[in-house]
Amino acid sequence: MVKRESIRVLIAKPGLDGHDRGAKVLTLGLRDEGMEVIYTGLRQTPDMIVQAAIQEDVDVIGLSCLSGAHNYLFPAVVDLLKAKGAKHIVVVGGGIIPQEDVLLLKSKGVEALFGPGAPIRQIADCIRAAVAGKSGV
């Protein structure tokens, strides 16, 4: 694995959720934190997200969901990454995630979850730590 100057992040909106303001704010915020960020746009399937992540050689997938389908969509992305030999890609999530769903999603392989108003610096620091942990740094 080649060490890069910056972390590459794919921000994706899985499912039918049409609210993307938070994803766009996060995209810009993570760029300000020195990361390379690719935004896929709205209404992506888990397969489309995983294919884009592999094609773009990202370190992290950030999923944003406000529709309530996070318990299905987030684990589907994690499972597809494993099936395609890309389990090294860190998955984080955000949106309207009830507290009772956080432990379930983490047990399914989602590294971290962030709610509305989470500070960009906190998200960026979590991403940096997760990527460092996956690369053995």
Nearest to 70 by CA among 28, 34, 16: 16
- Could you give the domains of the chain? 8-135 (3.40.50.280)
Parallel, antiparallel, or unpaired: how do β-strands 60-65 and 36-39 relate? unpaired
pLDDT score at 1: 45
**Across the chain, where does the E strand assignment appear?**
8-12, 36-39, 60-65, 90-95, 112-114
Going from the first residue of the chain to its last (137 residues), give the mean pLDDT of each consecutive group of 10, the final group possibly shorter: 78 90 95 98 96 98 94 98 98 94 97 95 98 76
pTM: 0.93
Output the CA–CA distances (angstroms, integers) from residue 9 to 53, 104, 108, in the order listed: 8, 23, 20
Tens digit of each residue's pLDDT (9 = 90 or more) over 39-53? 999 999 999 999 999
- Mutual orientation of helices 70-83 and 46-55 as an angle, nearest 10°? 40
- Residue 81 to residue 98: CA distance in whole angstroms: 24
